[in-house]
Amino acid sequence: MNTRERFQAVMDFRPYDRLPLLEWAVWWDKTIERWRGEGLPKRVKNRYDLYRHFGLDMYMQDWINTYKRTCPQPVSHGAGIAADEADYLRIRRYLYPKQVVNHRRWARWTELQSQGEAVLWFTLDGFFWFPRQILGIERHLYAFYDQPELMHCINSDLTEWLLVVIDELCSAYTPDFVTIAEDMSYNHGSMLSKSSFDEFLKPYYAQIVPALHKHGVLVIVDSDGDISQAAHWFGEVGVDGILPLERQAGVDISALRAEHPAMRFVGHFDKMVMNKGEAAMRREFERLLPAAANGGFLVSCDHQTPPGVSYQEYLLYLKLFEEYAAEAGRRSQQQRVSTPITHG
């Protein structure tokens, strides 16, 4: 199988030769800085150089920018750039740029995709994520109660813009999947209630998910923290999958799979064991192996590889990953799981 065939087989719950060797979230800058002092060659300069250097499968990502270059910046992390509706209307001219698709890049990537050498995906700001970026972390959470009209105004504008972007991108190219950035959970569950999700997010997902499915694009929500509860909500609006399934937040792939037999999952390898030695990493891969062999699950680090992981430890992780990726493929062919792919 080539890279794209392997991705499609896993996500379609069909037998595959091995798991994709995937780093969906790349690496922290400080991790790379450390590795350069431990043997990472200087010629390795960017994300795709790292993929090639480590022998990883090529997954090409384009995060679509919701902001114009002239957009004001927050004074500090999490501060936001607007406090109320008047502020938002004032800064709206700096948002929702036109012609955001880099056609030269996508044409180049499409050549790799057509040869089976790459999987293409793009990322969109979501309906929890984007208002938080605009309003700031604390003000955003109050706005569900104090400024509901503003929340709807922002998400209505975002939806209108996203539908144009989706049509432009997916009419010209064939992305394999999309991730929608949300980060709406923490280690004890969702940061908003089901009723707030239904009022402030669900109506907008109900518009963009069908638009993506029309083009055959798998829709995967990116939310850190414990998404066990929110996975049900996203399933109701037709979302196909969730990542990164953070282990430290208590997420359990076995429980998720039992409750969501057709949902796709990405991630879930506990990043905190990557510097604990071979035995600990083997235990973690063994934990994930049954779910991986059943399909619909792309194993990867459950977030960016932390700076506490040395270059040699990461090389050991990759060696073990290759071993267990092949074993998962062997088991998948024995089991011949046949859950059909569905969209909404």
Q: Give the chain's mean pLDDT.
A: 96
Contact in structure between 270 and 284 (CB atoms under 8 Å):
yes
d(CA 31, CA 269): 17
Given a cut of 90, whether residue 342 has pLDDT beyond it is no
Q: Is the dihedral of CA 290, 251, 257, 4 positive or negative?
A: negative
Number of domains in the chain: 1
Q: What angle do CA 229, 230, 236 make, to 5 degrees?
A: 115
Range in 18-27, 130-139, 211-220 with the lowest mean pLDDT: 18-27
Q: Is the pLDDT of residue 23 over 90?
A: yes
Helix (H) or strand (E) holding 168: helix 148-172
Give the span between the Cα atoms of 132 and 43, in whole angstroms: 38
pLDDT value, residue 226: 96
Q: Do the domain assignments include residue 93?
A: yes
Q: In terms of pLDDT, which residue wins out, 337 or 236?
A: 236
Structural domain boundaries enclosing 72? 3-335
Task: Give per-residue pLDDT as tens, 326-340.
Answer: 999 999 999 864 444
Per-residue pLDDT, averaged over 282-300, amounts to: 98
Q: What are phi and psi of 92, to 5 degrees?
A: -60, -30
Residue 104 belongs to a domain: yes
CB burial readout 210-239, b (16+ within 10 A) else e: ebbbeeebbbbbbbbbbbbebbebbbebbb
Q: Tell me what percent of the residues of the chain surpass a pLDDT of 90.
A: 95
**Alpha carbons 159 and 87: distance in angstroms, whole number:** 20
Model pLDDT, residue 335: 82
Strand partners, 179: 123, 220
How many whole angstroms separate alpha carbon 166 and alpha carbon 73? 26
Is the distance from CB of 269 to CB of 235 less than 8 angstroms?
Answer: no
Mean pLDDT of 158-172: 98
Reported as a single tens digit per residue, the pLDDT across 72-119 is: 999 999 999 999 999 999 999 999 999 899 999 999 999 999 999 999
Among 24-28, 144-148, 166-170, the range scoring the smallest mean pLDDT is 24-28
User: Given a cut of 70, is residue 208 above it in pLDDT?
Assistant: yes
> Is residue 344 one of the residues assigned to a domain?
no
Tell me, yes or no, whether 343 lies in a domain.
no
Is residue 341 in a domain?
no
> Is a pLDDT exceeding 90 seen at residue 204?
yes
pLDDT of residue 282: 98
Q: Is residue 342 part of a domain?
A: no
Q: Is the pLDDT of residue 344 over 60?
A: no
In this structure, how many other beta carbons lie within 10 angstroms of the beta carbon of residue 47?
A: 14
300 or 343, which is more confident?
A: 300
Task: Phi first, then psi: give them for residue 20, nearest 5 degrees.
Answer: -60, 140
Give residue 130's pLDDT: 98
pTM, whole model, 2 decimals? 0.94
The predicted pLDDT at position 336 comes to 67
Is residue 170 in a domain? yes
pLDDT at res. 43: 95
Choose among 343, 97, 59, 103: nearest CA to 212: 343
Residue 343, pLDDT > 80, answer no
> Around Cβ 135, how many Cβ atoms within 10 Å?
25
266 part of a folded domain: yes
* Distance of alpha carbon 342 from alpha carbon 344, whole angstroms: 6
CATH number at 34 reads 3.20.20.210
